[in-house]
Amino acid sequence: MNKSILYISILGMSEPLGKSQVLEYIKDLAKNYNMNLYSFEKDLTAQTISELNQVMENENISWKYQRYNNKYGVFSTIIQIFTSFFELKKLIKDKNIKVIHARSLIPTVIALILKIFCDVKVIADIRGFQIDEKAEVGRIKKKSFLYKLLKKLEQTTYKKSDSIVSLTHSAIDYIKNFTNKEKVTVIPTCANDKVFYKVSDEERTKLKEELGYKIDDVILLHAGAVSNWYDFDNELKIISKLFQTNEKIKYLILNKGEHDFISKKLLEYKIDKSRVEVKESNFYEVYKYLNISDASIFIIKPTFAKKASAPTKFAENLCCGLFSITNNGIGDMNSFFEKNDTLGYSFDIQDINTKLDSICENISIRMKKERLDSEYKNTYYENFSKDMAIEKYSNIYNTLLGQNK
């Protein structure tokens, strides 16, 4: 069997997300397949390219790239599709590539154009409902011609691709309107259990003291952004109520670049700042804060696009044995809590205004339930581990390679 795969990523390998969510997977896949990576790079300094070339050589990955350009919006995208087509067409011929793994919409469009001229199968690895995400944050008007055109293009990729990778099961309800749902495989955004892991009780106590907390403090953690998709206002309503019910509760926010906005919101909701800490953290230090916390809270606006979203922080919480507090309507989140309520608690976001007391009471009760490490680990390994993802990607590759002998 010819095992040559072309992986196209609009996300650059010079970016942190490209390294963690693309390159780390390709390294493992390269152990069993001839991986040919084509990426669009923002950082083309000599040092960056030299370092990446060394990584690719060490991992036996064939890598080509071009500069990422978004200066002229949609026109830049068209130019990138056009310019990459000819180089990729030659690459497919030279390397005898039979499967294209396209990560996100633009690479999938490139792959499907190549499919017209080359004997290849295409995997559309969708990273959520990208067009609706742009519309929901105001970058595209939902009634505009551009939105309708892009939605039609997105739907065409579902129809014409040979396999689809979705972050959530919830997204399949929409995708199946345009193609056979049997060709959809669910692979959520995974977390690295070498970076996020649970420490011993002794180490947890030590960390808590080192980070300035008392042993009996109950720490509620918000890690990451508080704007855009996050409903920080409703989160603060919950925090304010929980502060009233338990004087031991502390609120810890790990965030970069939004501290002034956070301060204004804390003042607006009359949150006692003596019980709040807002700080930044290095990515590789975040696990410490997850380990000292009693629950992680993240309230996300339950828009249509979020049905296709898999919050990475839930996978990271599982790795650290941390209880999650969130709302329904976000990917597959509530299904996990329906199966096992010791993993976390979710609720309808509109109930915050009418049933806040009940929500906070449920949070307090469930946080006190005994948590079994085995349940957290099993949920992680079955749904969010990189090994699980590699196995599923390999199954897709083998199926399509077998079809395209």
List the domains of the chain with CATH numbers.
Answer: 4-190+385-403 (3.40.50.2000), 201-383 (3.40.50.2000)
Reported pTM: 0.88
Torsion of CA 173, 393, 106, 94, to 10 degrees: -150
Mean pLDDT over residues 93-114, rounded? 96
Mean pLDDT over residues 97-124, rounded? 97
Would the pLDDT of 285 be above 90? yes
- Where does the pLDDT of residue 1 fall: very low under 50, low under 70, confident under 90, or very high at 90 and above? low
User: How many percent of the chain have pLDDT more than 90?
Assistant: 87
Q: Which residues contact 293 (CB under 8 A, 6 or more apart)?
A: 219, 220, 221, 252, 322
Nearest of 6, 3, 39 to residue 118 by alpha carbon: 6
DSSP-assigned states of every residue in 150-202: HHHHHHHHHHH-SEEEES-STTHHHHTTTS-GGGEEE-PPP--TTTS-PPPHH
Nearest of 155, 129, 125 to residue 140 by alpha carbon: 129
Residue 154, burial from CB neighbour count under 10 angstroms (0-12, 13-18, 19+)? buried
- For the chain, the average pLDDT equals 94
Would the pLDDT of 403 be above 90? no
Nearest of 7, 1, 109, 102 to residue 56 by alpha carbon: 7
The enclosing H or E element of 324 equals strand 323-327
Q: Could you tell me if 352 and 237 are in contact, meaning their C-beta atoms sit under 8 angstroms apart?
A: yes
Query: What was the pLDDT predicted at 358?
Result: 97
Query: What was the pLDDT predicted at 2?
Result: 72
Torsion of CA 104, 134, 85, 177, to 10 degrees: 60
* 3-state helix, strand and coil shares in percent for the chain, rounded to the nearest 5: 50, 15, 35
**Which of 32-41, 65-74, 347-356 has the weakest average pLDDT?**
65-74
- φ/ψ of 229, rounded to 5, equals -75, -15
pLDDT digits (tens, 9 = 90+) for 348-393: 999 999 999 999 999 999 998 888 899 999 999 999 999 999 999 9
Nearest of 155, 195, 198, 157 to residue 177 by alpha carbon: 155
Mean pLDDT over residues 199-207, rounded? 96
Q: Within the chain, what is the greatest distance between any pair of CA atoms?
A: 67
For tokens 């972050």, name the residue: 167
344: number of Cβ within 10 Å: 24
210: number of Cβ within 10 Å: 10
Q: What's the CA gap between 304 and 136, in Å, rounded?
A: 9
